[in-house]
Amino acid sequence: MKSVQEVYREKLRTPEEAVRIVKSGDWVDYAHCCSFPIALDKALAKRKDELTDVNVHNAISMGPVAVVEEDPDNEAFTYNLWHCSALDRKYIDQGKAFFVPMLFRNCGSYYLKGQAKVDVAMITVSEMDRYGNFSYGLTNCCMQEMLDSADVIILEVNKTMPFIFGIANDHINIREEKVKYVVESPYEIYTVDNPKVSESDRKIAANIFPYLRDEMTLQLGIGGTPNALGELIAESDLRDLGMHTELMSDGYLALYKAGKITNRMKADVNRRKGVFSICNGSRELYDFLDYNIDICSAGMDYVNDPAVISSIANFVSINSCISADLYGQVCAEAVGTRQISGTGGQLDFVTGAYRSPGGMAFITLKAARTDKNGVKHSNIKGRFTEGDIITTPRTQAPVIVTEYGAEDMNGLTTWERAEKLIGLADPDFREDLIREAEEQKVWRRSNKR
């Protein structure tokens, strides 16, 4: 039998040679986030004059996408997104990309059921170990389901991708029959700047902090507010925290460095293991994860499963949104019909945390925003009317938090919700919101202004 090194050499190609396998009409998959194959993408884009109707799937682009940048009129390639980064929403705004509505938890099933086609999969992986294995690194997500559905796989080996252990489905072997080619990337995988913490972020974090306690397991989103909360926790007396999260970011790194996360009290689920499904952040975070046996990756169908989440006692979920209305409906992914991000796992974590013994879910938002013309707008609306996408329905609205406080929506009447949400709104808009509540008959007559 040939050694794994011999098999590797036989399959090794230049990016330009490897992408010759793509034909017009193919569906190509780049996986998600840091698994984006930078060298292969550039090589494929060079074939724009030879190909037609090639569809590319990806999620959360972290750097320029060559098949978009080099083919702005979508003549050869159509770029399709499971979830949007800031760059992706610009592409969509420009008509250069399209969004696929989905629950992250179900993404893998779309592949397995044949609802998402994969002719050629191109993914970035870690360097090969002595047994011929490549780690999926920072992206577990629905990687295995996508690869199982692919006709052909091309691996882009990147020495800057950390080797990360997983609960399952965390690697691929060079002997895998579908692995047609291997290319070696000259690029570093993408990193993300740590979001700056604003004064509003600090106020929102301070309103959440009194609810936190020892031995809770945390799911944090990404952004200034989670970072502000991480700072508070790192400086506090809280101890023996756990991690079970859809996306791992530098906010968790700060908690690990402060000794706050031990995962010791996750008695029934992955005890002593921090669990994530995808990760993006700083180079320091990636280096921290490399061969770190304390932390493992898992598929999105596991991490985001409300049944799994609810089986972890004292589970605390903290996510952000764009806007909320007086009924407690939450929009976390769009402004009107403009796509901003995606549904992700917000509803799954709201559901699971509510069912967790001692668990709680929080959704945060800044009370107001100022547009590019300097006009101020309330992020708490009387009602959604512009095609806004409801991510979390009013029937599952959890604790909603702004700079002006935190209010639990569970079990409240429509008039109670209106009253509390108006109290969370920017004071400049409260009178207008009261008038809207009155018009909608969700303002109690006996309320005094």
Same-domain check for residues 249 and 371: yes
Q: Which domain holds residue 164?
A: 4-184
pLDDT higher at 271 or 156:
156
| For residue 447, pLDDT beyond 70 | no
Q: Considering the domain boundaries, does residue 12 fall inside one?
A: yes
**How is residue 27 annotated by DSSP?**
E
Among all chains, which residue has been given the structure tokens 């913490």?
Answer: 197
Same-domain check for residues 56 and 136: yes
Q: Considering the domain boundaries, does residue 447 fall inside one?
A: no
Q: Considering the domain boundaries, does residue 242 fall inside one?
A: yes
CATH for 267: 3.40.1080.20
Model confidence pLDDT, tens digit, residues 48-59:
999 999 999 999
C-beta neighbour count of 89 within 10 angstroms: 19
Strands 334-335 and 338-339: antiparallel
Model confidence pLDDT, tens digit, residues 106-117:
999 999 999 999
Same-domain check for residues 250 and 120: no
Q: Write out the E strands in 249-375.
A: 274-279, 295-297, 315-320, 323-325, 330-331, 334-335, 338-339, 360-364, 368-370
**Is 284 annotated in the active site?**
no
Last residue of a domain, one of 123, 156, 184: 184
Q: CA-CA distance, 157 to 76, in Å (whole number)? A: 26
Q: CA-CA distance, 43 to 28, in Å (whole number)? A: 13
Same-domain check for residues 115 and 231: no
pLDDT higher at 104 or 447:
104
Model confidence pLDDT, tens digit, residues 240-273:
999 999 999 998 999 999 999 999 998 778 999 9
Same-domain check for residues 291 and 402: yes
pLDDT in the model for residue 448: 58
Q: Considering the domain boundaries, does residue 434 fall inside one?
A: yes
Model confidence pLDDT, tens digit, residues 158-183:
999 999 999 999 999 999 999 999 99
pLDDT in the model for residue 127: 98
Structural domain count, the chain: 2
Model pTM score: 0.94
C-beta neighbour count of 176 within 10 angstroms: 14
Same-domain check for residues 116 and 245: no
The residues, any chain, with a CB within 8 Å of residue 319's CB and separated by 6 or more, are 219, 221, 332, 346, 349, 350, 361, 362, 363, 364
Same-domain check for residues 126 and 220: no
| For residue 390, pLDDT beyond 70 | yes
Model confidence pLDDT, tens digit, residues 87-134:
999 999 999 999 999 989 999 999 999 999 999 999 999 999 999 999
> Facing residues of 338 across strands?
335
Active-site option among 246, 403, 419, 436 = 246
Name the residue among 424, 408, 397 with its Cα closest to residue 210.
408
| For residue 313, pLDDT beyond 80 | yes
pLDDT in the model for residue 212: 96
